[in-house]
């Protein structure tokens, strides 16, 4: 199944760093997300876009993961040549990530 | 138990006007706060001020104040905003003018200055946070340097009896923390309360982004009434606990999901969110739905502030030239790629030097590149070429080359568009808070 069915997401930007939250609709699914949506997978997913490392933070209280992606915004909102200068559409792209519900 | 209700009247400089009027009318609020100052906005405002000493405040200041001033004055609602941008003093004078025109009497307006540290940092040896380079490498190109002030000077203005406080660069949450400190008499060194107050400010500072704005995804996340979205209200108790809500009949919704998305918006490590007032910790935050459109948020904590202030520096970095043109119907993608090849050859042939350039086909690969794009054949595509140059004439050449595809390029190109602009880029340095001296000025009518 797609990540979109289990979680929702919003992208934020600060300088050349992007963060993407991944929030379980149902807290029951948080352990599954925590197992499957790893920093490594997110880094591989955005291989064409994110030049730096990807760090994951966990907020089990809220059923949320927060991915911080460095060197991800073509120099940042003030000087990037990208059409989406903030990288706002990155969260929608990540919703395509494949999740194996039986893992 | 005493409760304070804060309304968030704008989430960015260009935000909608009427939700703030709705809050003033029906929100039963004591404070209306407007966060209108993005990172780069202040550098652009600084350039405007250099051309005209009475300019440099937010372009929508007049429209927003004309919309809410009479109502707020009648109801005793205090206004706090960073719409002063590069020129809070001129902004305060402008508000006074508007109030006089509206026949408002008995109004105290405070302007907070001191965030402009362009002169002070010139003598300092500082390292740029983003690049690790020495500040001296961009000293000649600086157009602005503004320190993020904390809640302190806004609290001072409120204690001084201000009905309206207008600032330049302050940390966004400080606009909301200040009225809480003032009303509840909290110590600015009570780190857990300051951490929870930061949660309140962070949740409110983007206005509609917590009431169902920037959230809707039909079939997955449906939001009622997004066309007349209401802006949020925070009802805060003396212990810092907060209920996020909205005006009953306003559009949008406040749910656990909208609150969680906003809590993590633009956050890196949630255990250490650095502000001038506190190092806030969001990891203990919990949220409970207590009624429809009412989310109780508790558990924000904090640690002692660092004593360092972030300074945002604007500098003239380069120029960006851009051109776009559309192709449609059968073969649109191939004609789009041909157009991109032509522009590549033309820029080389005519000697336009770029530091960086990208060739996009909107509808195919412009947002996330080839790997994430699926390879479907769209009905229409839009060619987009954007390049960074050292000079303005070269930037102009890029858009011109795209435009000449009309008569020289592939068949059927339409809707050409071009632009060339100066790039004021932003970086930051950290300086000791002792170098920054905020001052509160008053205008009274």
Which of B320, B369, B428 comes nearest A81 by C-beta?
B320
- Predicted pLDDT of residue B47: 87
Contact between A81 and B282 using a beta-carbon 8 Å cutoff: no
List the single residue in A with minimal CA-CA distance to B129: A15
A88 part of a folded domain: yes
- What average pLDDT does the segment B164-178 reach? 98
- What average pLDDT does the segment A32-50 reach? 96
Question: In A, which residues are within 8 Å of B372 by CB distance?
Answer: 45, 48, 93, 96
CATH number of residue A85's parent domain: 3.30.70
User: Which of A94-98, B113-117, B373-377 is least confident?
Assistant: B373-377
Q: Name the band, by pLDDT with cuts 50, 70 and 90, for residue B370.
A: confident
A103 part of a folded domain: no
- Per DSSP bridges, beta strands B164-167 and B108-113 are parallel
Among A5, A25, A62, most B C-beta atoms within 10 A, so best to mutate, is: A62
Determine the distance in angstroms separating the CA of B420 from the nearest CA of chain A, rounded to an integer.
12
- What average pLDDT does the segment B148-159 reach? 98
User: Which of A12-16, B62-66, B84-88 is least confident?
Assistant: A12-16
Provide the chain A residues 2-31 that lie in CB contact (below 8 A) with chain B. Answer: 4, 8-10, 12-17, 19, 21, 23, 25
Is residue B44's pLDDT more than 90?
A: no
Q: Name the band, by pLDDT with cuts 50, 70 and 90, for residue A75.
A: confident
- Predicted pLDDT of residue B40: 79
In this predicted complex, what is the ipTM?
0.93
A37 part of a folded domain: yes
- Predicted pLDDT of residue A77: 86
- Distances in whole angstroms, Cα of residue B375 to Cα of each of B333, B340, B366, B369: 10, 18, 13, 11
Is residue A33 helix, strand or coil?
Answer: helix
Which of B220, B320, B387 comes nearest A4 by C-beta?
B220
Contact between A81 and B358 using a beta-carbon 8 Å cutoff: yes
Contact between B264 and A23 using a beta-carbon 8 Å cutoff: yes
The answer, for B360 touching chain A at a CB cutoff of 8 Å, is: yes
Pick the CATH number of B313-428 from 1.10.150.120, 3.30.70.100, 3.40.50.720, 1.10.3720.10: 3.30.70.100
The answer, for B275 touching chain A at a CB cutoff of 8 Å, is: no
- Predicted pLDDT of residue A76: 87
The number of domains in chain A is 1
- What average pLDDT does the segment A62-69 reach? 98
- Predicted pLDDT of residue A62: 97
Tens of pLDDT along B410-438? 999 999 999 999 999 999 999 999 999 99
C-alpha B377: how far from chain center: 37
User: Which of A18-32, B339-353, B364-378, B389-403 is least confident?
Assistant: B364-378
User: Which of A47-51, B188-192, B205-209, B300-304 is least confident?
Assistant: A47-51
Contact between B368 and A19 using a beta-carbon 8 Å cutoff: no
The residues that bridge with A2 in the sheet, in sequence order, are A98
Containing A91, the helix (H) or strand (E) segment is helix A90-94
List the single residue in B with minimal CA-CA distance to A78: B425
Determine the distance in angstroms separating the CA of A9 from the nearest CA of chain B, rounded to an integer.
7
Tens of pLDDT along B193-242? 999 999 999 999 999 999 999 999 999 999 999 999 999 999 999 999 99
The answer, for B220 touching chain A at a CB cutoff of 8 Å, is: yes
List the single residue in B with minimal CA-CA distance to A49: B368
Which of A19, A47, A62 comes nearest B260 by C-beta?
A62
A39 part of a folded domain: yes
- Predicted pLDDT of residue B374: 67
Determine the distance in angstroms separating the CA of A72 from the nearest CA of chain B, rounded to an integer.
11
Containing A31, the helix (H) or strand (E) segment is helix A30-36
The answer, for A85 touching chain B at a CB cutoff of 8 Å, is: no
Tens of pLDDT along B371-388? 777 666 788 999 999 999
Is residue B128's pLDDT more than 70?
A: yes
Domain span including residue A63: 3-94
A101 part of a folded domain: no
Arithmetic mean of pLDDT over chain A:
95
Is residue B365's pLDDT more than 90?
A: no
Determine the distance in angstroms separating the CA of A101 from the nearest CA of chain B, rounded to an integer.
19
Contacts A–B by Cβ distance under 8 A:
118
Question: In B, which residues are within 8 Å of A49 by CB distance?
Answer: 368-369
Determine the distance in angstroms separating the CA of A102 from the nearest CA of chain B, rounded to an integer.
22
The answer, for A1 touching chain B at a CB cutoff of 8 Å, is: no
The answer, for A103 touching chain B at a CB cutoff of 8 Å, is: no
A102 part of a folded domain: no
Question: Cβ neighbours of residue B108 under 8 Å, at least 6 residues apart?
Answer: B160, B161, B162, B163, B164, B442, B443, B444
Closest CA to B337 of B409, B386, B414: B409
Determine the distance in angstroms separating the CA of B220 from the nearest CA of chain A, rounded to an integer.
8
- What average pLDDT does the segment B7-25 reach? 97
- Predicted pLDDT of residue B329: 86
Which of B40, B257, B264 comes nearest A78 by C-beta?
B40
For chain B, the structural domain boundaries read 3-114+149-306, 313-428
Arithmetic mean of pLDDT over chain B:
95
């Amino acid at each position: 199944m797609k990540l979109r069915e289990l979680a929702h997401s919003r992208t934020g930007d600060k300088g050349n760093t992007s963060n993407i939250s991944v929030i379980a609709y149902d807290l029951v699914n948080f352990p599954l997300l925590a197992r499957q949506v790893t920093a490594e997978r997110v880094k591989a997913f955005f291989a064409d876009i994110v030049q730096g490392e990807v760090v994951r933070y966990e907020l089990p209280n809220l059923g949320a993961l927060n991915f911080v992606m460095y060197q991800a915004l073509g120099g940042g909102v003030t000087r990037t040549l990208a059409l989406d200068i903030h990288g706002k559409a990155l969260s929608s792209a990540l919703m395509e990530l494949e999740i194996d519900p039986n893992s | 138990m005493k409760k304070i209700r804060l309304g968030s009247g704008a989430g960015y400089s260009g935000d909608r006007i009427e939700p703030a009027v709705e809050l003033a009318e029906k929100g039963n609020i004591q404070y209306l706060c407007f966060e209108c100052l993005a990172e780069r906005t202040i550098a652009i405002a600084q350039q405007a001020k250099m051309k005209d000493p009475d300019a440099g405040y937010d372009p929508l200041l007049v429209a927003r104040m004309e919309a809410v001033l009479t109502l707020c004055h009648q109801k005793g609602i205090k206004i706090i905003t960073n719409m002063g941008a590069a020129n809070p003093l001129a902004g305060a004078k402008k508000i006074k003018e508007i109030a006089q025109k509206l026949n408002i009497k008995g109004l105290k307006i405070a302007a907070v200055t001191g965030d402009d540290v362009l002169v002070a940092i010139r003598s300092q040896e500082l390292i740029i946070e983003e690049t690790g380079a020495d500040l001296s490498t961009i000293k000649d190109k600086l157009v602005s340097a503004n320190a993020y002030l904390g809640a302190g000077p806004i609290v001072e203005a409120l204690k001084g009896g201000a009905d309206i406080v207008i600032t330049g660069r302050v940390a966004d949450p400080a606009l909301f923390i200040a009225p809480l400190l003032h009303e509840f008499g909290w110590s600015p060194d009570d780190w857990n309360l300051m951490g929870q107050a930061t949660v309140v400010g962070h949740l409110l500072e983007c206005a509609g982004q917590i009431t169902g704005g920037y959230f809707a995804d039909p079939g997955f996340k449906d939001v009622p009434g997004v066309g007349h979205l209401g802006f949020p209200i925070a009802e805060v108790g003396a212990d810092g606990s907060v209920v996020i809500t909205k005006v009953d009949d306003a559009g949008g919704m406040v749910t656990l999901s909208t609150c969680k998305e906003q809590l993590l918006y633009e956050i890196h490590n949630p255990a250490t969110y650095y502000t001038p007032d506190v190092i806030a910790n969001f990891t203990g935050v919990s949220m409970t739905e207590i009624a429809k459109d009412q989310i109780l948020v508790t558990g924000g904590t904090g640690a002692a502030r660092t004593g360092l202030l972030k300074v945002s520096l604007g500098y003239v970095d380069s120029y960006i030239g851009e051109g776009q043109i559309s192709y449609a119907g059968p073969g649109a993608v191939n004609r789009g790629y041909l157009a991109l090849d032509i522009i590549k050859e033309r820029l080389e042939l005519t000697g336009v030097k770029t530091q960086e350039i990208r060739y996009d086909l909107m509808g195919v690969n412009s947002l996330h590149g080839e790997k994430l794009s699926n390879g479907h054949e769209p009905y229409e595509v839009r060619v987009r070429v954007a390049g960074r140059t050292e000079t303005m004439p070269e930037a102009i050449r890029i858009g011109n080359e795209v435009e000449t595809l009309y008569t020289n390029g592939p068949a059927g190109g339409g809707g050409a568009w071009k632009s060339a602009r100066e790039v004021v880029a932003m970086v930051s340095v950290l300086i000791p808070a002792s170098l920054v001296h905020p001052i509160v000025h008053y205008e009274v009518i």
